[in-house]
Amino acid sequence: MLKGTSVICTDASYPTNPKAIQHKYWVKQNQKYTVREPVYRNGKLVGLLLEEIVNPKVFDHIAEAEFEPGFAIWRFKKQESLTDVE
C-alpha cells in the first residue's frame, strides 16, 4: 500500500500481550483511514502509519532508536468502493 491509499480497519481488537507496544491512540472498527507511511521490516510490508492517528514515539532498546508505533497491515483492507464503508 502506498502513501495516500484509503484503507478500512477490519480488526480493531487491542493486543492483550503484555509485551506488545502500547499505543496512545487506537484504530476503530470499519473506520476509513489514509496511509501516511507504509512500514517495512526486512523488505516486507508489515504495518501502516495513518494520517488520522499520530502516536507518540517510543524507544526500542534493541534497535536503540525511537519510532512511532504503527498498526499491523492485517488489520486493514484497501477501500475499493463506497460500499466497503457502509
37-50 pLDDT tens trace: 999 999 999 999 99
Contacts 24+ apart (CB under 8 A), 22-27: 22/58, 22/69, 23/55, 23/69, 23/71, 24/55, 24/56, 25/53, 25/54, 25/55, 26/53, 27/53, 27/71, 27/75
Percent of the chain with pLDDT over 90: 70
User: 84 pLDDT exceeds 80?
Assistant: no
C-alpha distance from residue 76 to each of 12, 18, 58, 59, 64 (Å): 9, 23, 23, 25, 29
Distance CA 54, CA 34 (A): 12
pLDDT digits 0-9 by tens, 48-72: 999 999 999 999 887 788 999 999 9
What pLDDT is stored for residue 28 in this prediction? 97
